[in-house]
Amino acid sequence: MNQLRHRCAATLLAFASVQAVAGAADLEAAAGGSLQLSYDIQVAWLDAGEIAMRLSGDGERYALSGSVATSRLMDRFFKWRGRFVATGRMAFGFPRTDAYMLWGDDGKEQETLLSFGGTTTIVRSHGESERLDQPPGSDFMSVTFLGPHCLDETTLHDGEDLYRLFLERRAAAVELAHRRPYYAGVADRCDYRFKYTDGRTRRLSLWVAHWQGRRVPVRIRVRFPLLPDGHLFLRTEPRDVANPELRRSLSVGR
């Protein structure tokens, strides 16, 4: 009984904290300009899913929120739905995270991660909750979509794990010849290497360009050992969003 009470209390605490962070994101959206971004995810030329997000801020404070969902085709192999929120401040053009929340559902288990005030709390629907020290540095989503790329080196985290980001190569004024509805034009390319504390490495490439008044990633490639590359392509034209989670995310604040 005590274990059940502990789990329920932890779940309620995480839920209340998530609502507070999401409320801060809404306040930021009202205080300053905002930009909606929509990316299609492709893996080995397959339609793998979608990411919809909103960037907002008033010059010093920022908020980043959005949804991720795998496609019906990808659901046959791997199903995942998620929402994320990050809030923080810009310091000399670099995002410094104050709070980061990630909620995920793979169809079997739901997990909520909240990193705030020096502590990371993880609550699972089928398991014990965890409390960890909040990793140093800024969260991955804030740095990816708000950072001044190309970055030479920095420390990142996903709320739970810490890793270092190293720049391997940069190339200016690369021409992207994507077909509609994706961004086509000139972009700067940044090739990065991630190094985890256990020695594992991953590689990430960003193509960054000015779009609708902001400098944002217009294409992202993630490389995994022995697995097909994952690609994100920025859509520059609106569309009818079939996924209900993404439709709700895109409609927030309209």
What confidence tens digit (pLDDT) does each residue in 145-174 have?
999 999 999 999 999 999 899 999 999 999
Angle in degrees, CA 156, 161, 164, rounded to 5 = 35
The dihedral through the CA atoms of 7, 13, 16, 19 has a sign that is negative
Q: Which two tokens stand for residue 171?
A: 């190339």
Q: What pLDDT sits at residue 7?
A: 44
Amino acid letter for position 185: G
CATH assignment of the domain containing 80: 2.40.360
pTM given for the model: 0.81
The dihedral region occupied by 81, where left means phi > 0, alpha psi between -120 and 50, and beta the remainder, is beta
Query: 186: pLDDT confidence band, cut at 50, 70 and 90?
Result: very high
The residues, ordered by sequence, that sit 6+ positions from 58 with a Cβ below 8 Å of its Cβ are: 28, 31, 32
Question: Taking Cα atoms as reference points, which of 90, 214, 183, 185 lies closest to residue 143?
Answer: 90
Q: Which two tokens stand for residue 123?
A: 């609550």
CA 159, CA 196: separation in Å to the nearest integer?
14
Q: What pLDDT sits at residue 29?
A: 41
Choose the most confident range, by mean pLDDT, from 8-22, 139-153, 215-229. 139-153
Among all chains, which residue has been given the structure tokens 């300009």? 33
Lowest mean pLDDT among 18-27, 28-37, 55-64: 18-27
* Average pLDDT rounded to a whole number, residues 231-240: 86
The residues, ordered by sequence, that sit 6+ positions from 6 with a Cβ below 8 Å of its Cβ are: 129
CA 201, CA 187: separation in Å to the nearest integer?
25
The answer to whether the beta carbons of residues 97 and 143 sit under 8 Å apart is no
Q: Report the domain count for the chain.
A: 1
Report the half-sphere exposure of 155 (CA within 13 A, side-chain side).
10
Give the containing element (helix H, strand E) for 129.
Answer: none
The residues, ordered by sequence, that sit 6+ positions from 198 with a Cβ below 8 Å of its Cβ are: none
pLDDT of residue 247 exceeding 80, the answer is no
What is the extent of the structural domain holding 93?
2-251
Give the containing element (helix H, strand E) for 194.
Answer: strand 185-196
The mean pLDDT value of the chain amounts to 83
